[in-house]
Amino acid sequence: MKLWLTLAWTGLLLGSTSVVAKPELSRLQLPAGYEVSLFADNVVNARQMAVSKQGIVYVGSRKAGKVHALVDFNKDGVADKTILLAEGLNMPSGLAIKDGDLYVAEVNRILRFKQVDKQLNKPEYEVFFDKLPDKAHHGWKFIRFAPSGELIIPIGVPCNVCKEEAPFGEILALDMNTKTLTTWAKGVRNSVGFDFHPQTQGFWFSDNGRDMMGDDIPPDEINRLGDIGEHFGFPYIHAGSIADPEFNQGRSAAEFVPPKLALGAHVAPLGIHFYRGKAFPSEMKNKLFVAEHGSWNRSKKSGYRVMVATVRDGLITAYEPFVTGFMANEQTYGRPVAFAELDDGSLLVSDDFADAIYRITYTQKP
């Protein structure tokens, strides 16, 4: 494992002429007192993670079509074994655990691995729900269980910008007993990350703005849902104030809910996560981590970092860099995607570019 950390993304492996991106931890910069290590590598296209009560880390993917289980037998903060749980799936990006069952979101259906920790040797799944749209464009999903028990599922629009019928552009709640869907939020172009505030239970989510309006507009967004069914503007108004040149047609910004924070254009906020653990300094409790996956269509790259937001009384009062170094001089070295916490309070960050899971710890003594 340590040998990999000395390789500088050249992919010059013995006996290999292919270029393979490998995580170079020395590039990553964190605030004083924090350290980053490699929890696992070779986790192809690592996206959303879920941690079971036994501490097994499950990881979805997008293009790879795979789900992995990472097992740290000796609890030293490094995965000892990587198990391929499933393959050949349709963009199984999102996953969540409830009552020991692992739920995996494909584009058009939700799979369930019952009591997943107990069946790692011969994993089997069933189709739990199969009434989601089958459009691949923005069809990959992030999922999470609400405190009230519903499974929250976003339905991205199948386009850059368009006016599609429901449920496209919505965030839905799936009742696990009746298997009925309720619309929580409308006018959401493509949310690939959300979380519930640990104290208020408020629902916060990221949204990726449309492309092809230039380098600097419209901003990507961090939003908070106030009332079930609120509309956040897409495709008419972007980031609370910017009228779409094709679809605004007399619509007013006052009709829609503005974001709690307008980010840089094209930074691509994916996973967001309120920190709940006790391993970081007390002032980090309930702060919101944001994975800016990074731009693909900007003349100069932006994003490619982990940010942390301070949330007070329903407002974001500060937004600061936490992990940087995934990109330098227009060269990409990594793309952060999502977060998960281990029992010890350390924070995992997935990277679908470097096929890696990082572990962040706080080591500075008082």
* CATH number of the domain residue 71 falls in: 2.120.10.30
pLDDT tens for residues 161-197?
Answer: 999 999 999 999 999 999 999 999 999 999 999 999 9
Cα distance between the two ends of the chain:
31
Structural domain containing residue 60: 30-362
Query: What's residue 20's pLDDT?
Result: 43
Query: What's residue 104's pLDDT?
Result: 98
Is residue 49, in this structure, part of any structural domain at all?
yes
Query: What's residue 365's pLDDT?
Result: 66
Calculate the average pLDDT of the chain.
93
Is residue 83, in this structure, part of any structural domain at all?
yes
> Which residues are registered as beta bridge partners of 349?
339, 358
Q: What is the mean pLDDT of residues 213-226?
A: 98
Nearest CA to 28 among 360, 365, 364, 362? 360
What three-state secondary structure class fits 207?
A: strand
Is residue 7, in this structure, part of any structural domain at all?
no
Order across the sheet with 81-86: list the strands: 49-51, 57-59, 67-71, 81-86
Query: What's residue 5's pLDDT?
Result: 33
Confidence of residue 353 (pLDDT cuts 50, 70, 90): very high
- Cβ proximity of 261 and 273 under 8 Å: no
pLDDT tens for residues 94-139?
Answer: 999 999 999 999 999 999 999 999 999 999 999 999 999 999 999 9
Query: What's residue 363's pLDDT?
Result: 92
Residue 144, pLDDT > 90, answer: yes
Q: What is the pTM of this model?
A: 0.93
Query: What's residue 77's pLDDT?
Result: 97
Q: What is the mean pLDDT of residues 308-329?
A: 97
Is residue 3, in this structure, part of any structural domain at all?
no
Phi-psi region of 235 (alpha: psi -120 to 50; beta: other; left: phi over 0): alpha
Residue 251, pLDDT > 90, answer: yes
- Cβ proximity of 323 and 28 under 8 Å: yes
CA-based diameter of the chain, in Å?
Answer: 62
Query: What's residue 22's pLDDT?
Result: 66
What three-state secondary structure class fits 159?
A: coil
Is residue 82, in this structure, part of any structural domain at all?
yes
- What total number of domains does the chain contain? 1
Is residue 8, in this structure, part of any structural domain at all?
no
What three-state secondary structure class fits 9?
A: coil
Is residue 13, in this structure, part of any structural domain at all?
no
In sign, the C-alpha dihedral spanning 13, 19, 23, 24 is positive
Is residue 40, in this structure, part of any structural domain at all?
yes
